[in-house]
Amino acid sequence: MQNLKGKIAWVTGAGSGIGEGAAVALAEAGATVVLTGRRVPKLEAVAARIGQHAHVQPGDMTVVADVNRVAAWIREKFGRLDIFVANAGANIPKRSWADMEPSGADMVIAANLNSAFYGVLAVLPMMRAQKDGVIIVTASMAGRFIGGLSGAAYTASKHGAVAMSHSINMQECVNGIRCTALLPGEVATEILDKRPVPVSAEDRAKMVQSPEVGDLIRYIACLPPHVTINEVMITPTWNRGYVNALRAPKL
């Protein structure tokens, strides 16, 4: 497995959770990492963990002008981009059809799907020019399986993110570009705070942790150029969906 020395990586939603885990893991493998998100203090804290190979470029990935500004900065500063981790995302407490509002649906779809689309559109020209590049899209198990927990808007947006990822491979494989749809199950991140039913510390401790997802992202980024992992799931062993099914009364 190769290391990432000399590679340039852009991680969105990099101020916490999976984005932070990915940024740290990629930097540990030798990459220079550009950190993007809306919360500057959080980004600066992650950059301080990484050191001189981290660059903070704040922005809202749902705003095209912000996305294009950061991509232009990367192109001018480094002249290339090797790894793009489209990780920005969100959810809302009012997520069922009974209580969801249009503004909430708009926000979730923009955060989870539009942000990834805008980012991919911004980075593809650089990757095509160098005939090389890895794109990793943080989707979700909710992007492959339909259930009630994640809510309609989140589930729909993550299904879109998975479809987008496969379409990139279908069209850009001839340009040496590889895309992975990353499908985590429950990960102990801040997004759990948006759950309608609070998640206990005990349950969070049994979930996948952000550094573990970051390590998987590093592994994908380190694969040789002729290899693509099109889609991959990472879940807790104590999978609460499975556990609840086992405990349910038998019909």
CA dihedral for 19, 20, 22, 27, sign (positive or negative): positive
**Amino acid identity for residue 116 in this structure:** A
With a CB cutoff of 8 Å and minimum separation 6, the contacts of 90 are: 107, 108, 111, 112, 191, 194
Strand locations in 75-115, DSSP E?
A: 83-86
The angle subtended at Cα 54 by Cα 49 and Cα 57, nearest 5°, is: 115
Q: Give me the residues paired with residue 42 across strands.
A: none
Task: Tell me the backbone φ, ψ of residue 56, rounded to 5 degrees.
Answer: -90, 125
Token digits of residue 47: 């950059």
Q: Is 242 a catalytic residue?
A: no
Helix, strand or coil for residue 183?
strand
Cβ neighbours around 105 below 10 Å, total: 19
Q: How far is CA 132 from CA 71, 163, 214, 221, in A?
A: 16, 21, 21, 12
Q: Which residues are catalytic?
A: 154
